[in-house]
Structure formats: C-alpha cells, structure tokens
Amino acid sequence: MRKIIHVDMDCFYAAVEVRDNPGLSKQPVAVGGRAERRGVIATCNYIAREFGVHSALSSAVAKKRCPDLIIIPPNLNKYRDVSRVIQNIFHRYTDVIEPLSLDEAYLDVSSSEHHSGSATWIAQQIKSDIFHEVGLTASAGVAPNKFLAKIASDWNKPDGLKVITPEQVDDFVFQLPVEKIHGVGKVTARKLHNLNFRSCGDLQGATETELIERFGKFGKSLFRYARGIDERQVASHRERKSVSVETTFRDDKHSLEELYRELPGLIESLERRLNNLSSRSFKSLFVKIKFSDFTSTTKERRAEFILDDVFQSLIDEAFGRKEQSARLLGIGVRLSETEIVEHFQLELPFH
Ligand code: DCP
Ligand code: MG
C-alpha cells in the first residue's frame, strides 16, 4: 500500500502578495492583469472569492462583482522563489516529488522513515514548516494514491488536512460526486448526470465496456477512479510536451499585417521560456488564434527550429479560417520526446 501526499498552497499568488503587504489582509485581493487592458484574474484571496471572483475571470467582470477588489500585477519571479523554498521543504521528507505547478506537488512517502513513516504526521510537519519558514498556509491530502490525495487536499481548504486511510477508501468514493473526479469538467459531468451517474457509487454500476463506449479512453480511468483505484506513479521527471506564449489584445486585430506585427514580441518571450530548457530539439511549431466570438483555432507544422516565416504562414492559414477579427494570438513549439520538465510548468504571461 502506497502513501501519497498532495500539497497545494492556498490562493498562492494572492497569499504571497498579502504576506508581503499585511495591510491587505482584510481586503479582497486578486493577482492578475489590469481591467482596462483586458486582463484576467490569476487568483484571488478567500475574501474576494465570496464575491464570486475566481481564476480566469476577466478582471473587468471581477471589478463589477467586487468593486473594492485590489488587483495586483503578478510577480512571477517572486512566486518562483517561494516555490523553490517549498520544494526544498518537500525534499526533507522524500525525493519522490512530482511538481504539477509552482504551488502544487505529489509526494510519495511510502518509504520515508520520518515520524515512524506516518504520512499524516509528515503532511502536518510539511504544513507547519511551510507556515513557519515561508509564512503561508498550504492544504494537504493524504491517501493511498494520487487520485484520492488530490481530492483530499481540496477537501478542507484553506489550511486543510484530510486523510483517507485505505480502510476508508470504499466508503469515501461511494458517496463522492462524479464532478470531483479529475478530468470531469462541466461537459462530462452533464453527460454523466444524464446517465444518472451522480456519485462514484452510481458509476460502480456501469461496466468498463459501457464506460469506454460512452467516454472513449477516459472511460477506462472512470471505471477505476469510481472504485478508488489509481496506479499512476509519482513521477519525479515528467515529459513536457510543449511550450507556448500568448497575448490577448487590448483591441481586436482586423488584418494579417496587424497580427504579424505581434510576432517579434511573442517570439522573444517564447525564446525566453525556451532558455530554461536543457535541450532544444523541436518537433513542430504551432499558432493559436482566438476569434472575436471566442472560438479558437490552431495550426501546426513540422519544424526543428523557430522560423519567423513558418509562424507567419501558420498565422495566415489560421486567420483565414474565419471572417472575424482576432482577440488573442499564441505561438508555441512542440518538444521532442526527450525533453524533460525542469521543475515547474510555465505559467501564462500577462499582457
Ligand atoms: N493560476 C493562474 N491562472 C489560472 C489558475 C491558477 O495563473 N487560471 C495561478 C495562480 C494561483 C496558482 O496558479 O495562485 C495556483 O493555482 P491553484 O489552482 O492552486 O489556485 P490557488 O492556489 O490560487 O487557490 P486554491 O487555494 O484554491 O488552491
Ligand atoms: Mg493552490
């Protein structure tokens, strides 16, 4: 039986900003782009969440919902530094760590000798180390696998600790709403509800074949998750498949020329991100355009290097797919199989 801990910082970027400016601790605070520049909210503190503010909401809407909201521009370097300190704390307890983003990681402590091998004590200790050394609260989930550990860390947020022992797994999943399953978004949830699958207990009534017929490959995972089974290992090195950057324009772009003009700036920030990689062998380049009706399209072509004219012709093709102006342009590279994640996923830029 494995012992997995999932640690997730509470309202991470916002918590860092409030920590560094304690005068804000009783105010609704968000981190994100400016409302007047079509920015979006990266995250916000729990006071702001009570007003309906959340990640990925446009800052303009956030301001409407919460007029007193203080929106701070992101300081990604600061969050990266904090993240490094947190990662070092994890390493005191195990080397089997899989970071998912700056503020979140899985730890496999099955063979840890700390605290007589009690994963619950280790999780408590990690939370306490983070609080005393970084001044921030984290939530942790302890369970026999990744699927359950992640659900558990979210269970009593903020500053939560939830343990699911092997004996509790069956009862826990039986009543678990299907929308708690990782990978079940709004669309899949609706589909499941229409089939009368509301809890994992309901889902246990379906055969694997039936679920695969209805949900494709994901059906296989659904079948196992519904029984609390997840054999995925905590992978300390994960392959990163692509690196990309994108920008949302203040005003929609109506012509190809206008889009081309954005290219040098985007290539530059893409290059900056690629600087962190150990190898630079690409499989392909791609572009993404989001149109004024919010639909998106992508175009991709094989290429081993960043070539301006490949991006240009991809933009040409993508933009030509609709008679509409563009509100967002993104470019990226798909990496060859050998590229290994350094430590963290890259975050979206803010413009
Ligand atoms: N983030 C972002 N854009 C998003 C979602 C998240 O930039 N659409 C950033 C800001 C968050 C950080 O990633 O602080 C971590 O994401 P989480 O989903 O863990 O959210 P928080 O830590 O902010 O809040 P919670 O307490 O719910 O974990
Ligand atoms: Mg978090």
Question: Which atom of ligand 1 is found nearest the CA of 157?
Answer: 26
Q: What is the pLDDT of residue 173?
A: 98
| CA 210 to the chain's CA centroid | 30
Q: What is the pTM of this model?
A: 0.73
Residues of the chain with pLDDT below 70 are 237-240, 276-281, 337-351
Cα of 275 to ligand 2 centre, how many Å? 26
- Residue-wise pLDDT for 240-266, tens only, equals 678 899 999 999 999 999 999 999 989
Q: How far does the chain reach from its first CA to its final CA, in angstroms?
A: 46
Which amino acid residue places its CA nearest to atom 1 of ligand 1? 42
Which amino acid residue places its CA nearest to atom 7 of ligand 1? 42
Q: Residue 274's CB: how many other CB atoms inside 10 A?
A: 17
Q: What is the pLDDT of residue 239?
A: 57
Question: Which atom of ligand 1 is found nearest the CA of 46?
Answer: 26
Catalytic residues: 104
Question: Which atom of ligand 1 is found nearest the CA of 31?
Answer: 10
Q: Which of 6, 7, 8, 12 to mutate to test the pocket of ligand 1 (most atoms within 8 A of CB)?
A: 12
Residue of 8, 73, 77 lying closest to 36 (CA atoms): 73
Q: What is the pLDDT of residue 218?
A: 87
Q: Which ligand is nearest to the CA of 14?
A: 1
- Residue-wise pLDDT for 185-195, tens only, equals 888 899 999 99
Which amino acid residue places its CA nearest to atom 21 of ligand 1? 11
Rg value, the chain, Cα: 22
Residue of 188, 187, 174 lying closest to 225 (CA atoms): 174
Q: What is the pLDDT of residue 158?
A: 97
Cα of 335 to ligand 1 centre, how many Å? 25
Cα of 157 to ligand 1 centre, how many Å? 13
Q: What is the pLDDT of residue 277?
A: 61
Cα of 299 to ligand 2 centre, how many Å? 32
- The amino acid sitting at 325 is S
Residues with CB under 6 A from ligand 1: 8-13, 42-43, 55-56, 101, 103-104, 157-158, 347
